[in-house]
């Protein structure tokens, strides 16, 4: 699994805990403090993904398909670790890094086209998960992969010719644009609030 690592900014939070720690007459170990913050950040991020708060399942609803539960599954990849230098939140990169930037996706090897689901049977799956798929061209630039009862050839493969039927499962695309969507992960404010809760946990341990 390729991981996404995000370093949580803690400046304002740490200033407050230093003041409170001095007020109660105790110093503090940053490593222990950061571990307390990490526990809260991991909990908040896992809960956010598990509850799928960052998605409306618009594509699944459009196709009449069942949601794949992607974000619920991704919740299990979230790990936050704290040490004397700070707190780092890691999680799977695939599907979650778009919280921070846009993506332009193009095929890198093998097929020359991406396969985008256009039918509920294909939602959450890849073309290689199916056997017997054929490609059919529609007009000059559009192609689709699906099941066919055509005779002859389409794009050099069985499935073309007059007559018969064709059920498209995927459309072929040279690239796909995936816009940034910050809401698939907790906001900076939510992470900051979680960090503050970790600070309070630490302060409670001092008193």
Does residue 49 carry a pLDDT above 60? yes
- Res 2: pLDDT: 60
Model pTM greater than 0.85?
Answer: no
> Which tokens is 34 given?
């950061």
Q: Residue 121: helix, strand or coil by DSSP?
A: coil
Name the band, by pLDDT with cuts 50, 70 and 90, for residue 145. Answer: confident
pLDDT digits (tens, 9 = 90+) for 120-138: 999 999 988 988 888 888 7
Cα-based angle 80, 81, 82 (whole degrees, multiple of 5): 130
The mean-pLDDT minimum among 13-17, 49-53, 189-193 falls in: 13-17
What is the pLDDT, as a whole number, of residue 40? 96
Phi and psi based region of residue 25 (left: phi greater than 0; alpha: psi -120 to 50; beta: remaining) = left
Q: Which residues contact 124 (CB under 8 A, 6 or more apart)?
A: 65, 68, 70, 117
For the stretch 70-81, pLDDT in tens is 999 999 999 999
For residues 148 and 164, the answer to whether their CB atoms sit within 8 Å is yes
d(CA 108, CA 114): 10
């Amino acid at each position: 699994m390729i991981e996404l690592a995000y370093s949580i900014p803690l400046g304002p939070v740490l200033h407050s805990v230093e003041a409170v720690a001095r007020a109660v007459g105790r110093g503090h170990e940053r490593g222990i403090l950061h571990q307390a913050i990490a526990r809260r950040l991991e909990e908040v991020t896992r809960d956010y993904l598990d509850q799928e708060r960052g998605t409306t399942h618009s594509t699944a609803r459009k196709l009449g398909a069942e949601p794949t539960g992607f974000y619920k599954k991704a919740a299990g990849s979230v790990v936050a670790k704290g040490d004397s230098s700070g707190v780092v939140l890691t999680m799977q990169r695939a599907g979650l890094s778009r919280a921070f930037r846009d993506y332009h996706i193009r095929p890198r090897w093998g097929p020359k086209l991406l396969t985008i689901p256009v039918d509920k049977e294909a939602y959450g799956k890849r073309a290689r998960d199916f056997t017997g798929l054929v490609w059919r061209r529609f007009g000059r630039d559009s192609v689709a992969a699906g099941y066919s009862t055509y005779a002859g050839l389409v794009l050099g493969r069985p499935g073309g010719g007059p007559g018969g039927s064709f059920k498209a499962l995927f459309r072929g695309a040279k690239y796909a644009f995936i816009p940034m969507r910050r809401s698939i992960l907790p906001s900076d404010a939510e992470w900051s609030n979680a960090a503050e809760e970790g600070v309070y946990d630490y302060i409670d341990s001092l008193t």
